[in-house]
């Protein structure tokens, strides 16, 4: 007997109802939900941080297709195990929702399944958290097969512990002829099993995609081109910068998480050398662990990069917090040790804000990816940083090996050539592959870091 279909598997239509509890179904996108935002300030935080996070949550809600109409903030020493907020604040929140006719309450903090259920019962409406909103946005913006699989996997991991039903959804299916086969299983158990089977299928698909990606990465390594990944907070201007540098044609919109799929293009630097430049998904404060885990194969391009171009929005309310949030995610995915080059974007919008970041981070570059101002300086700095990652090697090349001299000029950067009695003494920046191939001509002890 075939199992009944369920709308919660593989559905990318979006909407907060996809993540909410038993009080709501999938949202109709013909209208915008009315949302009340909730934040909690703990002793290790201050109210400024809470308000800033709620401002960002309001942008996330707007990106997801809803309107934030009110907000509630409470100061607590610790979350209430049952409702996250105190009982009095929950009643205050319920009255506010009734007065403003709110459809959904969104918490900036992550709710446990039990807290979510209790809140929905007390409030009489859907209660979700920041993670659900971000997953909803990713579900709307995923376009490639890999992106859709990654988002669906993250959504299932989020939904499984929250899966529940009521009424006949919990009724037991017949166990067959006679009572000896038992009373059957509940519809809830059927849905949970189907989700787990779908999750295993997605994980297998992503492993296969990762295998293909590894093969492509090995081919790029054989090309011996430097690999540069653009990272940064969401909506910092990463895709705009890639488009300006390479005419990549990546979607650019002034909203959070407009692009999710990694895009790689070849870029020629001022010195003539070429690099592979990759745009990556944007990061955000409190990035859901489900997304980090599901997008691990995509984020491997960051871990394997020779250099990270960390783009910072100089017009943001708190650029330093954005920088710290990106660094936390980089540390989480194992890319903390990859060299970084900090680039402050949007100087055309807020020159003073960009100047403050420059003062706090000496050596970074300011530009406008939209107008092109400062891009030439950034490219020169990028070329210098990449050259600095190469070894300076001294080689003695016989006079009759002109082919080796040509290879040195082709594969690296020749700094000095001096004729000696035994041959041409050459100092050049070379990668490890070239040094290994030419090891018999390397002057002993003369391979140095630049």
Q: Kindly give the pairing relationship between strand 365-366 and strand 413-419.
A: unpaired
pLDDT band at 219 (very low <50, low <70, confident <90, very high): low
Q: Among 382, 383, 386, 344, which residue's Cα sits nearest to residue 361?
A: 344
pLDDT score at 146:
83
270-306 pLDDT tens trace: 877 788 999 988 888 888 877 887 777 678 889 889 8
Top pLDDT among 415 and 235 is at: 235
**Which structure tokens are listed for 374?**
């400062």
How many angstroms separate the CA atoms of 410 and 376, rounded?
A: 24
pLDDT score at 322:
92
Whether residue 386 contacts residue 373, with contact meaning beta carbons closer than 8 Å, is answered with no
Judged against a pLDDT cut of 70, whether residue 14 lies above it is answered with: no
Place of tokens 């090697």: 393
390-449 has which fold? Alpha-Beta Plaits (3.30.70)
Q: What are the two backbone dihedrals, phi and then psi, of residue 297, each rounded to the nearest 5 degrees?
A: -65, -40
Sheet holding 274-279, edge to edge: 263-268, 274-279, 226-232, 307-313, 340-345, 365-366
Q: What percent of the chain has pLDDT over 70?
A: 84
Instruction: Measure Cα distances from 360 to 252, 323, 356, 363 in Å.
Output: 29, 12, 6, 10
* Terminal C-alpha separation, the chain: 69
Q: Which CATH superfamily is domain 1-224 in?
A: GTPase HflX, N-terminal domain (3.40.50.11060)
Helices and strands counted in the chain (H then E): 14, 14
Whether residue 227 contacts residue 220, with contact meaning beta carbons closer than 8 Å, is answered with yes
225-386 has which fold? Rossmann fold (3.40.50)
**Which structure tokens are listed for 232?**
């940064």
Contacts of 45 (CB under 8 A, 6+ apart): none
**225-386 and 390-449: identical CATH topology:** no
145-164 pLDDT tens trace: 888 888 899 999 998 888 87
pLDDT band at 313 (very low <50, low <70, confident <90, very high): very high
Whether residue 270 contacts residue 380, with contact meaning beta carbons closer than 8 Å, is answered with yes
Q: Where are the beta strands (DSSP E) in 202-254?
A: 226-232
pTM score, whole prediction? 0.76
Alpha helices (H) in 73-186, listed in sequence order: 87-100, 113-123, 130-141, 145-159
Top pLDDT among 223 and 420 is at: 420
> Helix-strand-coil percent breakdown of the chain, rounded to 5?
45, 20, 35
pLDDT score at 428:
83
How many angstroms separate the CA atoms of 383 and 269, rounded?
A: 6
pLDDT score at 251:
64
Instruction: Measure Cα distances from 302 to 125, 281, 305 in Å.
Output: 41, 10, 5
Helix (H, G, I), strand (E, B) or coil at 416: strand
- Number of C-alpha atoms within 13 angstroms, CB side, residue 249? 0
Q: What are the two backbone dihedrals, phi and then psi, of residue 82, each rounded to the nearest 5 degrees?
A: -90, -40
Ranking 68-82, 200-214, 229-243, 336-350 by mean pLDDT, the lowest is 200-214
Domain ranges of the chain: 1-224, 225-386, 390-449
């Amino acid at each position: 007997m075939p199992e009944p279909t369920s709308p919660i598997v593989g559905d990318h239509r979006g909407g907060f109802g996809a993540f909410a509890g038993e009080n709501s179904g999938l949202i109709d996108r013909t209208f915008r939900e009315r949302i009340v935002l909730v934040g909690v300030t703990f002793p290790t935080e201050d109210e400024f941080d809470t308000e800033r996070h709620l401002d960002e949550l309001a942008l996330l809600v707007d990106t997801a297709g809803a309107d934030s109409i009110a907000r509630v903030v409470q100061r607590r020493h610790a979350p209430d195990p049952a409702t996250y907020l105190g009982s009095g604040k929950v009643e205050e929140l319920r009255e506010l929702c009734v007065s403003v006719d709110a459809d959904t309450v969104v918490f900036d903090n992550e709710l446990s399944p039990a807290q979510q259920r209790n809140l929905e019962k007390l409030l009489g409406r859907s209660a979700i958290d920041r993670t659900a909103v971000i997953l909803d946005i990713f579900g709307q913006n995923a376009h490639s097969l890999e992106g859709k699989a990654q988002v669906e996997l993250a959504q299932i991991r989020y939904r499984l512990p929250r899966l529940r039903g009521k009424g006949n959804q919990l009724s037991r299916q017949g166990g067959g002829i006679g009572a000896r086969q038992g009373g059957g299983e509940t519809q809830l158990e059927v849905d949970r099993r189907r989700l787990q089977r779908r999750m295993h299928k997605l994980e297998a698909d992503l492993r296969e995609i990762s295998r293909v990606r590894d093969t492509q990465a090995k081919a790029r390594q054989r090309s011996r081109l430097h690999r540069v990944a653009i990272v940064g907070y969401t909506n910092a201007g990463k895709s705009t910068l890639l488009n300006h540098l390479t005419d990549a044609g990546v979607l650019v919109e002034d909203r959070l998480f407009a692009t999710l799929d990694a895009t790689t293009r070849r870029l020629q630097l001022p010195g003539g050398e070429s690099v592979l430049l990759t745009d990556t998904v944007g990061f955000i404060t409190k990035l859901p662990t489900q997304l980090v885990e599901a997008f691990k194969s995509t984020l491997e391009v960051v871990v394997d990069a020779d250099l990270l171009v960390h783009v910072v929005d100089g017009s943001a309310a708190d650029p330093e917090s954005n920088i710290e949030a990106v660094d936390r995610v980089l540390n989480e995915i194992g890319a903390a040790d990859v060299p970084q080059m900090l680039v402050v974007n949007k100087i055309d919008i807020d020159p003073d804000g960009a100047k403050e970041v420059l003062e706090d981070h000496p050596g970074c570059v300011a530009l406008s990816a939209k107008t092109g101002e400062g891009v030439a300086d950034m490219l020169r700095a990028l070329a210098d940083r990449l050259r600095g990652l190469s070894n300076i090697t001294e080689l003695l090349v016989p006079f009759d090996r002109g082919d080796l001299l040509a290879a040195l000029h082709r594969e690296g950067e020749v700094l000095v050539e001096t004729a000696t009695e035994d041959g041409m003494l050459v100092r050049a920046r070379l990668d490890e592959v070239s040094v290994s191939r030419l090891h018999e001509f390397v002057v002993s002890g003369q391979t140095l870091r630049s």
